[in-house]
Amino acid sequence: MKEAVKRQLLDIVGEDRFFDQDLDRFTYSYDGSFLPLVPPHLPDAVVQPVSTEEVAAILRVCHAHDVPVVPRGAGSGRTGGSVPVAGGVVLSLQRMNRILDLDEGNMMALVEPGVVTFDFYQAMEKKGFFYPPDPASWKFCTLGGNVAENAGGARAVKYGVTRDYVMGLQVVLADGRVIETGGKAVKNVTGYDLTRLFVGSEGTLGVITRILVRLLPLPPAKRTLLLCFGSVDDASTAVVRMIQGGVIPAAAELMDRVSIEAVARAHPVDVPRGTEAAVLVDIDGEPELLGPQARRIVAIARDAGAIEVREAADEAEADALWLLRRAMGPAVAAMAPNKIGEDISVPRTAVPEMIRRLQEIGRRYGFTIAIFGHAGDGNLHPSILTDLSQEGNREKADAAVAEIFRAALQLGGTLSGEHGIGITKLPFIVDALGEAQVEVLKSIKRALDPRGILNPGKIFAGGAGR
């Protein structure tokens, strides 16, 4: 980094929030994806602003000197979105972690991007409000990262994803200008919907410094059921029939036998012999309505071939069942030296066929593929278990991933349901969207970031955008 740039950044954040030592740079060179760390993608420096004014000042400096800027939350992303592939400055927003305001009358909250998702959920719950988005990493991921990736979670089947709760944003543009999008008015069609444009943009269009989210009343009651099936196909079919039958669960999480066995290594799992898949279902709402809904779910599950149906007796048992699902990712990763976890989304009715294709891909390449995810909205997380140090396995894994993406697209699905494109899915973006649509995306990028300094090398095929 040029000494003049370093001096200007130090003037903005001070020595205690500016880092350029090798260990600090390495710490911010990777995220939660399966990208190899050799060679590492080291930033030139890391800065930790505490205000919108500091973010704007940093961007003005970097814009003037053509220095790449990579916004970063908790670094829990799975597609390399916060990896500084072009060096430059990592803009860590972890110190901007305040809940600024709770407007109880309008049921909205104003937060900074570094607020941890679960902490925010708990804070709102204490006030009687409900913030539904619940990505599996919610104990440590941040709201800013959730907005940047348009994160989902188990409750998306009934309540939607992050973008459905973002009412407005404060965004610092590439040249340091600050804009406010959206607001508390529920109806607003004044100009283009810039709020939704920035949600899911992975830090390539601007740096989000404030987030206005809407809240819901806290559901008064909840029930949790575990449905066990003799095949993955039966399990996914049951979820489709459930929703077709008018029962919209708050969550419907699918776990195949491999995933269940993985969790069983660390947590006791009591499922009947012959269980090839299980679906964890939550329903919530008024207490008097949950009984009929639960009975309807049980009937549908049994009709679809369930070999056992179990309802949690109390909140403690429900929490224990949900611990199994939330521990799924790390548990599956512990089964092999390497786990290549993917995130695809298909129409709900295509889930059974997608699962069959995943199983066939695993057989053909000789890999175990654990399958779990949000069956209620068609968002699956197939995980290839392998040892990439063995000769030929990296190439085989890459080929298997490409086939997974092709299968999802053939079934009318997408490359990503909630993890974004980042680096790992960049080569497939044209297959998913087509040349014309990708060029539209690039033109938006050029309009907002003409020098290409914001998170370069992400989303666009061939690394365009820098």
Average pLDDT over residues 6-20: 98
Question: What is the tens place of the pLDDT at every residue in 40-53?
Answer: 899 999 999 999 99
Q: How buried is residue 120: exposed, middle or buried, by Cβ count under 10 Å (0-12/13-18/19+)?
A: buried
Residue 220 corresponds to which tokens in the numbers above? 């008064």
Contact 56, 170 (CB under 8 A): no
Average pLDDT over residues 29-57: 92
For 47, 54, 453, the CA distances from 177, given in Å and listed in that order, are: 19, 12, 14
Q: Indicate if the pLDDT at residue 419 is higher than 90.
A: yes
What is the torsion angle, in degrees rounded to the nearest 10, for the CA atoms of residue 145, residue 151, residue 155 and residue 159?
100
- pLDDT band at residue 463 under the 50/70/90 scheme: very low
For 151, 158, 231, 385, the CA distances from 77, given in Å and listed in that order, are: 10, 24, 31, 19
Question: What is the tens place of the pLDDT at every residue in 369-414?
Answer: 999 999 999 999 999 999 999 999 999 999 999 999 999 999 999 9
Question: What is the tens place of the pLDDT at every residue in 107-136?
Answer: 999 999 999 999 999 999 999 999 999 998
Question: What is the tens place of the pLDDT at every residue in 141-163?
Answer: 999 999 999 999 999 999 999 99
Question: What is the tens place of the pLDDT at every residue in 202-248?
Answer: 999 999 999 999 999 999 999 999 999 999 999 999 999 999 999 99
Stated pTM of the model: 0.95
Q: Indicate if the pLDDT at residue 465 is higher than 80.
A: no
Average pLDDT over residues 325-334: 88
Average pLDDT over residues 251-256: 96
Q: Indicate if the pLDDT at residue 423 is higher than 50.
A: yes
The pLDDT of residue 30 is 94
The pLDDT of residue 14 is 98
Pairing of strands 89-92, 45-47: parallel
Show the domains of the chain with their CATH numbers.
Answer: 3-92 (3.30.43.10), 107-217 (3.30.465.10), 221-329 (3.30.70.2190), 336-410 (3.30.70.2740), 426-457 (no CATH)
Name which of 219, 217, 250, 204 is nearest 107 in CA terms.
217
Residue 316 amino acid letter: A
How many alpha carbons fall within 13 Å on the CB side of residue 427? 8
Residue 47 corresponds to which tokens in the numbers above? 């800065």
The pLDDT of residue 325 is 86
- Is residue 233 within a helix (H) or strand (E), and if so which, with residue range? helix 232-244
The pLDDT of residue 324 is 82
Give one word for 78, left, alpha or beta, with left for phi > 0 and alpha for psi -120 to 50. alpha
Name which of 147, 290, 153 is nearest 209 in CA terms.
147
Contact 86, 202 (CB under 8 A): no
Question: What is the tens place of the pLDDT at every residue in 358-369?
Answer: 999 999 999 999
Three-state DSSP at 202 gives coil
Residue with tokens 């008018």: 246
List the Cα angle 349/351/354 in 5-degree steps: 130
Residue-by-residue DSSP string for 16-57: GGEE-SHHHHHHTS--SS----SS----SEEE---SHHHHHH
Average pLDDT of every residue of the chain: 95
The pLDDT of residue 464 is 37
Q: Indicate if the pLDDT at residue 88 is higher than 90.
A: yes
Contact 220, 287 (CB under 8 A): yes
- pLDDT band at residue 39 under the 50/70/90 scheme: confident
- pLDDT band at residue 461 under the 50/70/90 scheme: low
Q: Indicate if the pLDDT at residue 462 is higher than 90.
A: no
Which residues lie across from 343 on neighbouring strands? none
Q: How buried is residue 95: exposed, middle or buried, by Cβ count under 10 Å (0-12/13-18/19+)?
A: middle
Residue 410 corresponds to which tokens in the numbers above? 């053939």
Average pLDDT over residues 249-265: 94
Q: Indicate if the pLDDT at residue 1 is higher than 50.
A: yes
The pLDDT of residue 303 is 97
Distance in angstroms (rounded) separating the CA atoms of residues 130 and 22 = 42
Distance in angstroms (rounded) separating the CA atoms of residues 85 and 62 = 16
